[in-house]
Structure 1
Amino acid sequence: MSTVHSAPDPSPQHRPARRSWVEQVMGLPVSVLARGSLAHSSRADEAVQSVYAELREVDRVFSPYRPDSAVSRLGRGELSLAQTDQVVREVADRCSWARDLTGGLFDATRPDGYWDPSGLVKGWAVERASNRLAEVADLDWCLNAGGDVVVLCPSGQPFTVGIQDPRDQGRVATAISCRSGAVAASGTAARGAHLYDPGSGRPASGSWLSISVRGPSLETADVLATAAFVAGDGWPEVLHAAPGYAGLGIATDGTLHATADWTVPTDGADR
């Protein structure tokens, strides 16, 4: 999980305007922070509302908890993948890409045979929705979906992204400065043992409480964080699957273990 704060400005008396929004979407809190002279403009609000509308539509289509979603109907055998909308087939292709990227450590097909793309959908959807914010290019933006973060800072002034301590969710274990890109985390602190090893079909467990990944794309960072957590002690090697990604592991004793480039800023997207 990640928390976000604006980095201190060199001249606090000239601190740019800020505005924040938060809604519960896709079963998690989704917050948006805008920073700049247009933060309180109708353009900013319209961009944010379009983000929430897009995420609500994604939830309608992909939520495994909604009986009328395409995912639920696929699970009940009421329709085939070929009969679904193009966006569902696109996500199915992205899940296949994620499985290949991670050597099978990420797999949308659960041990019970049910296709559940939730592990990919959040990062994919939030990254896609963040393009709505980028249309207001003269604002800095930070989009936080349940701890997975996308940062867009055309001003060059960073946001500070805090990495939650999995042993105490009210505490930040460490923080990094982000001018662009994404941070995603995977672990068992918030939802318990919900991750499984596709190879064995058993819940993933080991000596790590959480793995955070930063890089250009939230979708990729989210997939790599999940795969890295499943990999256990070999998690740093998983990040080599895509260029430009770095990680931080928090062990069960609370110690932090970062890859060498964890604090190196990232720019752009690799999708």
Structure 2
Amino acid sequence: MVSRRSWVEQIMGLPVSVLARGEEAESARADAAVRDVFADLVEADRMFSPYKIDSAVSRLARGELSWDEVDPVVREVGERCVRARDLTGGLFDAELPGGGWDPSGLVKGWAVERAAERLREVPDLDWCLNAGGDVLVLCPSSLPFTVGIQDPRDPGRVVTSVARSDGAVATSGTAARGAHLYDLRTGDPVDTRWLSVSVSGPSLEYADVLATAAFVAGEEWPGVLAALPGYEGLGILADGNLFATAGWPLGEVAAG
């Protein structure tokens, strides 16, 4: 029987879990790597959360820090946000309407990928790192994990699944936080008949960025994914119908 072990912590206001599989799953080395992953994500939240009064994001907003004074990691994320804005033609933008900077749409995927390097250091370990529904996996065994896609109309239900032995799946929509996304080209809230868009590809950082940009794009969302090779998408309409790009590997679709 293949050994398995799971861990879960509440970080960034959402559940972050790790599922490990293989001979190393129950080892002290795997446990230490997971603890380091959680610590890295706590530190990213401390630095980038717009809800923490002492974060770099909050201090920039209040004018207590300038860009010349922030930690180099904050400047790196700022540069990544600019590249993401350029890549998506402004559909993703960390600059807020009316001023301010909120890199949350990029930071989670970036921070999870960065922290996951701890898990990559454990040899022969299959792992699935799930940060509130945005998922990164690596399976040296080549036996994939099955990633469920949540029904945005019923958070307790999965409408379909995708098998991955490497890479990421990210979802953007209104199910978890309501209508919180804006089209920053116009400053208006996103108005779309799509309830969510999920993106699968090699990088969680870019899958997350492209999912956000695709959701903002509305009817034109499949074209957004053409900005980078290797990314495919699945959109869920308000009536529950699904639309997938040509390369999206559909799994079992729930009835109804």
Please, what TM-score do these two structures have when normalized by structure 2? 0.97
Which residue of 154, 157, 182 maps to 2:140? 154
- Bigger mean CA offset, 112-121 vs 241-250: 112-121
Question: Quick one: distance in 2 between partners of 1:52 and 1:251?
Answer: 34
Greater RCO between the two (CA within 8 Å, min separation 6)? 1
Letter in 1 for 2:73: V
1:36 aligns with 2:22: yes
Deviations 1:48-93 (A, max 9, x none): 0000010011011111111111110000001101110100000000
**Which residue does 2:253 correspond to in 1?**
none
Q: Deviation at 1:112?
A: 2.4
1:215 aligns with 2:201: yes
**Which residue does 2:168 correspond to in 1?**
182
Aligned-residue CA RMSD in angstroms? 0.8
Matched position secondary structure for 2:178: coil
Question: Quick one: distance in 2 between partners of 1:98 and 1:262?
Answer: 22
**Which residue does 2:49 correspond to in 1?**
63
Deviations 1:211-231 (A, max 9, x none): 000000000000000000000
Question: Quick one: distance in 1 between partners of 2:77 and 2:36?
Answer: 21
Letter in 1 for 2:114: R
Which residue of 59, 67, 78 maps to 1:92? 78
Question: Quick one: distance in 2 between partners of 1:202 and 1:182?
Answer: 29
Deviations 1:215-270 (A, max 9, x none): 00000000000000000000000000000000000001100000000019xxxxxx
Question: Quick one: distance in 2 between partners of 1:239 and 1:204?
Answer: 18
Question: Quick one: distance in 1 between partners of 2:123 and 2:220?
Answer: 39
Q: Deviation at 1:199?
A: 1.2
1:250 aligns with 2:227: no
Q: Deviation at 1:205?
A: 1.7
Which residue of 72, 93, 109 maps to 1:123? 109
Which residue of 229, 241, 250 maps to 2:227? 241
Matched position secondary structure for 2:182: coil
Q: Deviation at 1:200?
A: 1.1
Which residue of 130, 133, 146 maps to 1:144? 130
**Which residue does 1:132 correspond to in 2?**
118
**Which residue does 2:153 correspond to in 1?**
167
The residue correspondences of 1:17-28 to structure 2 (distance < 5 A) are 17-28=3-14
Question: Quick one: distance in 2 between partners of 1:169 and 1:185?
Answer: 13
Question: Quick one: distance in 1 between partners of 2:108 and 2:70?
Answer: 19
Letter in 2 for 1:36: G
The residue correspondences of 1:224-235 to structure 2 (distance < 5 A) are 224-235=210-221
**Which residue does 1:49 correspond to in 2?**
35
Q: Deviation at 1:137?
A: 2.2
Paired positions, count: 250
**Which residue does 2:254 correspond to in 1?**
none
Q: Deviation at 1:38?
A: 1.4
Letter in 1 for 2:174: T
Matched position secondary structure for 2:185: coil
Question: Quick one: distance in 2 between partners of 1:28 and 1:221?
Answer: 19
* Percent identity of paired positions between Structure 1 and Structure 2: 71
Gaps spanning 5+ residues in structure 2: where?
A: 251-256
Q: Deviation at 1:114?
A: 1.0
Question: Quick one: distance in 2 between partners of 1:101 and 1:46?
Answer: 37
